[in-house]
Homo-oligomer: A and B are copies of this chain.
Amino acid sequence: MSYFSTVDKIKYEGVTTENPMAFRHYNPSEVVMGKTMKEHLRFGVAYWHTMTQDGSDPFGSPTNIRTWVGSTPMETAKNRVEAFFEILEKLDVEYFCFHDVDIAPEGNSLGEFFNNIDEITDLFKEKMDQTGIKLLWNTANMFSHPRYVNGAASSNSAEVFAFAAAQVKKGLDISKKLGGANYVFWGGREGYESLLNTDMKFEQDNIARLFKMAVAYGEKIGHKPQFLIEPKPMEPSKHQYDFDAATTMAFIQKYGLEGDFKLNLEANHATLAGHTFEHEMNVARCYDALGSIDANQGDMLLGWDTDEFPTNIYDTTLAMYEILENGGIAPGGINFDSKVRRSSFEMEDLLLAHIAGMDTFARGLKAAAKLKEERFFDDLKDKRYASYNDGVGARILSDQETLESLTEYSMQNGDIKLESSHLEFVKSRLNDYLV
């Protein structure tokens, strides 16, 4: 059965096409800087936003029309697998991501939940074998159920910690079963609603404990996905411990997790934390910890996570530039953690919105490659930092100077001449690279 029977596989048709169901910029097989676009971009579709998000918001009921809803939760779950792989194939997307609760009903017990997961992941495996589509990452939802009201690993209840541990174990089991490349932790309730009743250190110690258990279990079962932590500053909790990339790196270092953990960075989480997306990616690169990205965009004037499909070409250009600087994003990918607007409630919007996001990232890739090939930023920075190439600069970099030797140097050095950054010119010229 087809859920999008009137739509063929989406093809690249270029900017002149009038067909909305076509790529205007994303050309999977086009070679950019020695690799195909598909290899560079490693797109993933998110199960939650695409298959289970219903268009509701805190002030409104569901709007989304979804033709896969069946008469039982399990029937719906199975229909979704069918529809999901149709979407992936029609979009020519190679990767996908999911939470445990997205794919299977929780039932009435942990055992029933796990059985449901097994049944659905069997279907996944079948589809993956048929299509070559791969699991970018999976994760356990440890924030929606009321038991997680005060956190999962950071809960004040040891029983809740134990339940979370069981979900993580299952998550790693299905990661192994499906050959998952990464495994993600996003701690939506790992934080606090009020500091007044919270022991922050106790809770963070426990989070580290769960992470170490996960590493140990992965080793035991001989499956080592790249572990990723996804920072977000707030929402749903008033404060979440993994506020941003740097905060998460402080945590990772404190608990000695550098060997096993990198970051999964989301654009909208970056801006909620007061940073640009490219900043967060750059921070991660400073710590050699850029693992994967959640592609979306926020509204800079709104204080919550809107998870919009990325359509801003400045953002995707600078994000793709960071990825090129990183030597690519593999084994991570570009996962559309994006949801259709509440008014884009038709089935076909799922395709249109992903096309929009993929085209915008394709534009970003092409612009970033041009910037790289023409050495726009490289030349700028080489010139800017040139004083460190020799003389006192070189001696500083090789740790041959001290406060005393530099005081002597400065006592004799005359007025320092600096050069203008011409930042306005730089920003205007950047516009000429956007394509």
A72 CB–B CB distance under 8 Å: no
Please measure, in the bound complex, the distance between the C-alpha atom of A422 and the C-alpha atom of B299, giving whole angstroms: 17
Q: How far is the CA of A254 from the CA of B251 in the complex (A)?
A: 11
Q: Does A38 contact B (CB under 8 A)?
A: no
Name the B residues within 8 Å of A287 (CB-CB).
Answer: 250, 254
Q: How far is the CA of A387 from the CA of B279 in the complex (A)?
A: 41
A330 at the interface (CB under 8 A from B): no
Of residues 136 through 155 on chain A, the ones whose CB sits less than 8 Å from some CB of chain B are: 143-150
Are B282 and A159 in touch, CB under 8 angstroms? no
Oligomer: number of copies: 4
Bound complex: CA of A214 vs CA of B403, how far in Å? 7
A54 to chain B, nearest CB (A): 10
Whether the Cβ atoms of B209 and A399 lie closer than 8 Å is yes
Is A309 part of the contact surface with B, judged by Cβ < 8 Å? Answer: yes
What is the predominant secondary structure among interface residues of chain A facing chain B?
helix
Query: Chain B: which residue is nearest A278 at the CB level?
Result: B195
Cβ of A225 within 8 Å of any chain B Cβ, yes or no, is no
Does A392 lie within 8 Å of B159, measured CB to CB? yes
* In the complex, residue of chain B having the shortest beta-carbon distance to the beta carbon of A150: B343
Q: How far is the CB of A232 from chain B (nearest CB, A)?
A: 10
Chain B residues, CB < 8 A from A201: 285-286
Q: A188 in the interface, Cβ–Cβ < 8 Å?
A: yes
Give the residue of B353, B404, B430 whose beta carbon is less than 8 angstroms from that of A217: B404
28 contacts between A and B (CB under 8 A): A24-B432, A59-B143, A60-B149, A149-B418, A150-B343, A150-B418, A157-B387, A157-B418, A160-B416, A161-B393, A162-B401, A165-B407, A199-B381, A209-B399, A246-B247, A250-B250, A250-B253, A253-B253, A300-B300, A308-B424, A346-B420, A349-B420, A349-B422, A349-B425, A352-B425, A353-B425, A356-B425, A360-B431
Q: A61-B144, A158-B396 are in contact. List 19 more A-B contacts (CB 8 A).
A: A58-B58, A60-B143, A62-B146, A110-B410, A149-B342, A157-B416, A165-B403, A168-B403, A197-B421, A202-B388, A213-B402, A213-B403, A246-B247, A274-B274, A313-B431, A343-B423, A349-B425, A357-B424, A359-B428
